[in-house]
Amino acid sequence: MKSFDAIVIGGGQAGPFLAARMVEKGMKVALIERKFLGGTCVNAGCMPTKTLVASARAAYVARNGAVYGVNIPGEIAIDMKVVRARAETVTMNARNGLIGWFAGMDGMTVIYGHARFEDPKTVSVNGETLTAPRIFLNVGARPVIPDLPGINDIDYLTSTSIIHLDTLPRHLAVIGGSYIGLEFAQMYRRFGAEVSVIEHGPKLASREDEDISDAIADVLRSEGIDIHTGVSDIAFARSSDAITVATDSARIDASHVLIATGRKPNTDDLGLDAAGVITDKHGYITVDDKLATNVEGIWALGDCNGHGAFTHTSYNDFEIAAANLLDGDDRKVSSRILAYALYIDPPLGRVGMTEKQARASGRKIMISTRPMSRVGRANERGETKGFMKVVADAETKKILGAAILGIEGDEVIHGIIDAMNAGTTYPALQWSVPIHPTVSELIPTLLGDLKPA
């Protein structure tokens, strides 16, 4: 049996950085990863997909160059092999960077294999037994494959496998109208494929307010994406040259099918029962406000704990754990203000409560909206789709949440994220003097238009 000061299971966006901090403190740490360092973000999420999004935008801008007086003769062709290779290069650079970083750390032992608990202080991997007083789980999540008629008769794609395509689908059917599915839908439409989105719920991006969801649908439809919502029945059938996707309202002859119906935690094969670690009904590991499980000496970080399914929330889990365990701090998950983005084009930046959530809280609220068509930068760039929206507490004057669906919305939202984290009231922000011409310069104007709702 090999002994360590700590064992980290999973090489995503929380565990490795915590392992590095512990090594800096002179601890002996084992980092166990069953496949690739970097987790979903580096290998099958943010980095490769946003690289693909960039290629898709380049194609879109090239096709629309004449609007700006830039005429490109001939057809705009897409070389999917180059597109894929570029995304793979970005991934490999990041992954190899992590490998090199950890290789240079005294006290860090990286083990590739599948870890399972033997008891609360012991895990086995590759036939070896390891023990430590502290064990951290950062095992991530994977795509959910729903039990739909005929699904096992077709060769479907997931968000993990689609990034390896080096040919262009004739017609991509996307099952699921949430964030992952919508990003791939617009991406492949811009590459030149026909695209259909099939969503069980009544609207796309179901966690958003209805006006935001409607605007997202308008953006996608304007680019020729076929959208079906409120679909109750889906079945698949394979023919010689197509996949038939039959719903209660449509029949689609697709060449490829992407299943984007959510993700589930990788907790079902860790031997959690042997350690006594409790999970909820969805398989997420139950943790307290400081990310500790019900078993002393075991913590769960990142996607597997159900407290955020984003790279930045996973990294923040590392920050919380490191601050509390290594720096004598007292940080809590409940202090985190959730923010995220949807990387369609234009992107959606979101922070805090939706209007629906704010109303449900019983607060007296104020709301302001402003179309992107009234933003100078948007007009100058010829990208006026979408709008800004902010919700505030009428009594405390604090901002409760905001959504910016529009050009650079994923960047502009950070002004509001920072203000909310600092506890700044919206009247104080009205007196800021932003730079012109930017999208952010409209934030004081947007806040000045807040009215009781």
What is the average per-residue pLDDT within 266-289?
98
Alpha carbon of residue 10 to chain centroid: 18
pLDDT grade for 240, boundaries at 50, 70 and 90: confident
Indicate if the pLDDT at residue 31 is higher than 90: yes
- 206-228 pLDDT, tens digit per residue, is 999 999 999 999 999 999 999 99
Instruction: Kindly report, residue by residue over 125-146, the tens digit of the pLDDT.
Output: 999 999 999 999 999 999 999 9
Q: If we measure between CA atoms, which residue out of 283, 282, 318, 312 comes closest to residue 299?
A: 318
**Residue 175: pLDDT band with limits 50, 70, 90:** very high
Reported as a pLDDT band with limits 50, 70 and 90, residue 239 is confident
pLDDT at residue 441 is higher than 90: yes
Look at residue 398 and tell me whether its pLDDT is greater than 90: yes
Structure confidence at residue 249 as a pLDDT band (50, 70, 90) = confident
Residue by residue, DSSP assigns 343-357 as -SSS-EEEEE--HHH
Residue 346, preceding peptide bond in cis (omega within 30° of 0): yes
Task: Find out whether 157 and 257 touch, Cβ atoms under 8 Å.
Answer: yes
What is the rounded CA–CA span in Å between residue 353 and residue 442? Answer: 20
Q: Give the pLDDT confidence score for residue 3 in this predicted structure.
A: 98
> At residue 151, what is the residue type?
I
pLDDT band for position 235 (50/70/90)? very high
Indicate the pLDDT class of residue 241, thresholds 50, 70 and 90. Answer: confident
SS3 172: strand
Pairing of strands 122-125, 116-119: antiparallel
Contacts of 163 (CB under 8 A, 6+ apart): 44, 48, 49, 52, 84, 87
Domains and CATH numbers, the chain: 2-142+264-335 (3.50.50.60), 151-261 (3.50.50.60), 339-452 (3.30.390.30)
Residue 197 parent element (H or E): strand 194-198
Kindly tell me if the per-residue pLDDT of 106 is higher than 90: yes
Confidence (pLDDT) at 299: 98
Per-residue pLDDT, 285:
98
Are 275 and 295 spatial neighbours (Cβ–Cβ below 8 Å)? yes
Region of 376 (left: φ > 0; alpha: ψ -120 to 50; beta: rest) is: alpha
Give strand ranges (E) for 11-165. 29-33, 108-112, 116-119, 122-125, 128-131, 134-137, 141-143
Cβ-defined contacts of 167-171 (< 8 Å, 24+): 167/80, 168/78, 168/80, 168/192, 168/193, 169/193, 169/254, 169/255, 169/256, 170/194, 170/254, 170/255, 170/256, 171/195, 171/196, 171/252, 171/253, 171/254, 171/255, 171/256
Determine the pLDDT at residue 83.
Answer: 98
Return the structure tokens found at 33: 């990863």
The pTM is what? 0.96
The end-to-end CA distance of the chain, in Å, is 64
Question: Who contacts 93 (Cβ-Cβ below 8 Å, separation ≥6)?
Answer: none
pLDDT tier at 260 (50, 70, 90 boundaries)? very high
Helices (H) and strands (E) in the chain, counts: 13, 24
The H or E element containing residue 62 is: helix 46-63
Question: What digits encode the pLDDT tens for the residues 41-93?
Answer: 999 999 999 999 999 999 999 999 999 999 999 999 999 999 999 999 999 99
The percent of residues in the chain predicted with pLDDT above 70, rounded, is 100
442's enclosing H/E stretch is helix 442-448
Segment 317-346 mean pLDDT: 98
* Nearest partner of 27 among 119, 92, 108, judged by Cα: 108
pLDDT at 252: 96
Alpha helices per DSSP H over 284-351: 311-326
Residue 368 bridge partners (DSSP)? 390
